[in-house]
C-alpha cells in the first residue's frame, strides 16, 4: 500500500515542479518587466505605479488566507488542493495576457485598466498557487522527500524566469522601439498558453496521499473557520518568524528583479539584447542554485537552516559590492549582480519547504491539518513584501525625477543603485536576523515526522475497524 511517506516518482516530482513553473511566470513577468511596461510603454507615472502595486498587492495578500481556508476545507474526488489547478488553469493563462494590453484610453483610463487587469491576474495567481503550496504536504509527509521534490521544483520554476527573460526582450526587439506594446502582447500570448498548460500538467501528474482517512461526519467536524485557523497560526511561533523572514527577503528579491531592467538600460546604458542576456543569466543562477544547495546539504556542508542563513548573508554582501564596482566595468557589474542572485537563491529550495514543516508542527501541537492556510500565510508574506518593494521602486524612481527614455542624471543613478544594491542588502540581512528565531531544525522535524506517522497509523486503524463493524 502506498503511504504518505512513500518515495515519490521522478515523473510526479517533475509534474509538481511544472506547477511552480506556471506560478513563477507571474513572478518573472511582474518582477522583471511590469514596472518598466507600466512606466515606459503604457505611460503610467512612476509614483502612480508605486501606489498601484501597493494597493492591489495588499488586497491580494489579504485574499490568500481566505483562499487557504477554502482549500483546507475542500472535499472533492480530486482532493483538497488539486481541483483549483484544473478549473482555474485557463483563466490564469488569460490573466497573464490581459495585464500586458495597451488600450487607447486617457491617462486615468489607463490607470484604471492597469488596476483592473492586474487585480484579475493576482486573484487568479492566488487561487491557484495557494492550493499548490498546500499540495506539497498532501503529496508526502517526509521532510526529506519534500526537499527532494523541491530539488526538481525550483529549477523548473526558475525556467519560467529564463523563458520570460529571453522571450519577452526578443519579441520587443523584433517589433522595434516604436512597437514595444505589440512585442509584449505577442510574447505574453505564448506565455499565457504555457502558464495554463503547466498547471494542467501539475494537476494530471500528481496525487494527494497525506490525507487521513476519516468519515464524512468527522470530516465535517474537523472543518475550521478562518478566524480560528488564523488565531492558531499567530500562536505558532515558528510560523510567525518564518513569515517575517519570508516577507523581508521577498522585498530584497523583488527589488533586484524589478530594478535590473533599469540598471541595464539606464545605469549600464545597454540595449534589449544585452538586457535579455543579463536577465537570462540571473534566471540561470536561479536554476543552478537549488542544485548546488541540495549537494551542499547532502554532503553535510550545511544543515537546511544553515544553508538559508548563509545564503542571505552572502547575497547581501554581494549586493553591496555593486556600490564599489566601476560603472564602466560592464561585465564586472553584471558578474556581481549574478553572484548576488546566485547566493540568495541558494535558500529558495529550503525556504519554500518550511510552510509544510510548520503545518506538521501545527498538526502535532493542535491536531489540526492547516497546510492551505499556512501556505497562504507564506504567500501573504511574499505578496506583502512584493507590495512594499513595488511601491519602493515607483517612489524611489519618482523621487529621483525619473523620466521614461530620458538620459539619467546623478539622482537617477543613485536611485538605481539604492534599488539594486543598498536596499536589497539591508533586507537580506534583516531576513537572516528573523530566521535565527525559527526553531524547526532537522532534529525537531524528524521527531515530528515520527509522531505523525504513529498518530496517522492509529487513526486509520480506528476508521477501518469502525467500517468493518458497520
Does residue 141 surpass a pLDDT of 80? no
C-alpha to C-alpha distance for 362 and 369, rounded to whole angstroms = 7
- Dihedral (Cα; 237, 241, 246, 247), 10-degree rounding: 100
Question: How confident is the model over 314-338, as a mean pLDDT?
Answer: 94
C-alpha to C-alpha distance for 194 and 182, rounded to whole angstroms = 19
C-alpha to C-alpha distance for 160 and 140, rounded to whole angstroms = 25
Under 8 Å between Cβ of 45 and 39: yes
Confidence of residue 137 (pLDDT cuts 50, 70, 90): confident
**pLDDT for the residue numbered 306:** 92
Does residue 221 surpass a pLDDT of 80? no
C-alpha to C-alpha distance for 307 and 186, rounded to whole angstroms = 40
Torsion 173-176-180-186 (CA) sign = negative
With pLDDT > 70 as the criterion, what percentage of the chain qualifies? 91
With pLDDT > 90 as the criterion, what percentage of the chain qualifies? 35
Q: Regarding predicted confidence, which is higher, 434 or 141?
A: 434
Question: How confident is the model over 32-77, as pLDDT tens digits?
Answer: 888 889 988 898 888 888 888 888 877 877 787 788 788 878 888 8
Question: How confident is the model over 130-153, as a mean pLDDT?
Answer: 81
Q: Regarding predicted confidence, which is higher, 470 or 224?
A: 224
**pLDDT for the residue numbered 217:** 42
**pLDDT for the residue numbered 216:** 43
What do you get for the CA distance between the two ends of the chain, in Å?
A: 23
Mean pLDDT of the chain: 85
Does residue 435 surpass a pLDDT of 50? yes
Q: Is 403 left (phi over 0), alpha (psi -120 to 50) or beta?
A: beta
**pLDDT for the residue numbered 229:** 75
State the SS3 of the chain: CCCCCCCCCHHHHHHHHHHHHHHHHHHHHHHHCHHHHHHHHHCCCHHHHHHHHHHHHHHHHHHHHHHHHHHHCCCCCCCCCHHHHHHCHHHHHHHHHHCCCCCCCCHHHHHHHHHHHHHHHHHHHHHHHHHHHHHHHHHCCCHHHHHHHHHHHHHHHHHHHHHHHHHHHHHHHHHCHHHHHHHHHHHHHHHHHHHHHHHHHHHHHCCCCCCCCCCHHHHHHHCCCHHHHHHHHHCCHHHHHHHHHHHHHHHHHHHHHHHHHHHHHHHCCCCHHHHHHHHHHHHHHHHHHHHHHHHHHHCCCCCHHHHHHHHHHHHHHHHHHHHHCCCCCHHHHHHHHHHHHHHHHCCHHHHCCHHHHHHHHHHHHHCCCCHHHHHHHHHHHHHHHHHHHHHHHHHHHHHCCCCCCCCCCHHHHHHHHHHHHHHHHHHHHHHHHHHCCCCCCHHHHHHHHHHHHHHHHHHHHHHHHHHHHC
**pLDDT for the residue numbered 339:** 95
Measured in whole angstroms, how far is the alpha carbon of residue 147 from the centre of its chain?
Answer: 16
C-alpha to C-alpha distance for 386 and 394, rounded to whole angstroms = 12
Question: How confident is the model over 370-379, as a mean pLDDT?
Answer: 75
Q: What angle, rounded to 10 degrees, do the helices at 442-469 and 354-366 form? A: 60
Under 8 Å between Cβ of 135 and 355: no
**pLDDT for the residue numbered 219:** 44
Question: How confident is the model over 119-144, as a mean pLDDT?
Answer: 86
Question: How confident is the model over 208-212, as a mean pLDDT?
Answer: 68
Does residue 456 surpass a pLDDT of 70? no
Does residue 373 surpass a pLDDT of 80? no
Question: How confident is the model over 146-167, as a mean pLDDT?
Answer: 81
C-alpha to C-alpha distance for 413 and 365, rounded to whole angstroms = 51
Q: Is pTM beyond 0.85 here?
A: no
C-alpha to C-alpha distance for 230 and 227, rounded to whole angstroms = 5
C-alpha to C-alpha distance for 46 and 39, rounded to whole angstroms = 6
Under 8 Å between Cβ of 240 and 296: no
Under 8 Å between Cβ of 438 and 238: yes
Q: Regarding predicted confidence, which is higher, 229 or 465?
A: 229
Under 8 Å between Cβ of 187 and 171: yes
C-alpha to C-alpha distance for 211 and 109, rounded to whole angstroms = 48
Q: Regarding predicted confidence, which is higher, 210 or 304?
A: 304
Confidence of residue 223 (pLDDT cuts 50, 70, 90): low
Question: How confident is the model over 174-200, as a mean pLDDT?
Answer: 88
Amino acid at each position: 500500500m502506498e503511504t504518505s511517506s512513500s518515495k515519490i516518482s521522478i515523473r510526479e516530482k517533475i509534474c509538481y515542479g511544472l506547477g511552480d513553473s506556471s506560478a513563477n511566470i507571474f513572478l518573472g513577468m511582474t518582477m522583471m518587466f511590469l514596472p518598466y511596461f507600466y512606466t515606459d510603454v503604457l505611460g503610467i507615472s512612476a509614483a502612480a505605479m508605486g501606489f498601484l502595486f501597493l494597493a492591489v498587492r495588499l488586497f491580494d495578500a489579504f485574499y490568500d488566507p481566505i483562499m487557504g481556508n477554502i482549500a483546507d476545507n475542500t472535499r472533492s474526488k480530486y482532493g483538497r488542493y488539486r481541483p483549483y489547478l484544473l478549473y482555474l488553469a485557463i483563466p490564469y493563462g488569460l490573466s497573464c495576457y490581459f495585464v500586458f494590453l495597451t488600450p487607447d484610453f486617457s491617462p486615468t483610463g489607463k490607470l484604471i485598466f492597469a488596476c483592473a487587469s492586474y487585480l484579475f491576474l493576482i486573484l487568479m495567481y492566488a487561487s491557484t498557487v495557494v492550493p499548490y503550496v498546500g499540495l506539497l504536504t498532501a503529496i508526502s509527509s517526509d521532510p526529506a522527500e519534500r526537499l527532494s521534490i523541491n530539488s526538481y521544483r525550483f529549477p523548473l520554476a526558475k525556467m519560467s524566469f529564463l523563458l520570460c527573460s529571453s522571450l519577452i526582450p526578443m519579441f520587443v526587439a523584433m517589433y522595434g522601439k516604436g512597437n514595444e506594446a505589440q512585442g509584449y502582447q505577442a510574447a505574453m500570448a505564448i506565455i499565457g498558453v504555457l502558464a495554463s498548460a503547466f498547471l494542467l500538467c501539475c494537476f494530471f501528474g500528481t496525487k494527494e496521499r497525506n490525507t487521513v482517512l476519516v468519515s464524512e461526519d468527522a470530516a465535517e467536524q474537523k472543518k475550521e473557520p478562518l478566524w480560528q485557523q488564523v488565531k492558531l497560526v499567530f500562536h505558532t511561533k515558528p510560523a510567525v518568524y518564518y513569515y517575517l523572514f519570508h516577507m523581508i527577503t521577498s522585498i530584497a528579491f523583488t527589488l533586484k528583479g524589478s530594478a535590473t531592467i533599469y540598471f541595464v538600460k539606464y545605469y549600464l546604458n545597454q540595449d534589449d539584447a544585452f538586457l535579455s542576456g543579463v536577465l537570462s543569466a540571473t534566471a540561470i543562477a536561479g536554476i543552478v542554485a537549488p542544485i548546488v544547495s541540495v549537494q551542499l546539504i547532502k554532503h553535510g556542508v550545511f544543515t537546511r537552516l544553515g544553508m538559508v542563513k548563509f545564503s542571505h548573508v552572502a547575497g547581501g554582501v554581494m549586493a553591496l559590492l555593486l556600490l564599489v564596482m566601476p560603472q564602466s566595468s560592464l561585465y564586472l557589474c553584471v558578474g556581481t549582480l549574478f553572484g548576488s542572485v546566485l547566493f540568495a537563491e541558494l535558500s529558495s529550495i529550503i525556504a519554500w519547504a518550511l510552510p509544510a514543516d510548520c503545518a506538521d508542527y501545527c498538526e502535532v501541537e493542535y491536531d489540526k491539518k492547516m497546510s492551505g492556510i499556512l501556505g497562504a500565510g507564506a504567500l501573504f508574506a511574499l505578496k506583502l513584501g512584493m507590495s512594499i518593494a513595488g511601491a519602493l521602486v515607483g517612489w524611489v524612481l519618482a523621487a529621483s525625477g525619473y523620466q521614461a527614455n530620458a538620459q539619467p542624471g546623478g539622482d537617477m543613478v543613485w536611485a538605481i543603485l539604492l534599488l539594486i544594491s543598498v536596499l536589497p542588502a539591508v533586507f537580506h540581512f534583516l531576513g537572516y536576523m528573523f530566521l535565527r528565531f525559527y526553531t524547526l531544525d532537522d532534529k525537531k522535524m524528524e521527531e515530528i515526522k515520527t509522531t505523525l506517522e504513529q498518530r496517522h497509523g492509529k487513526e486509520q486503524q480506528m476508521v477501518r475497524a469502525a467500517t468493518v463493524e458497520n
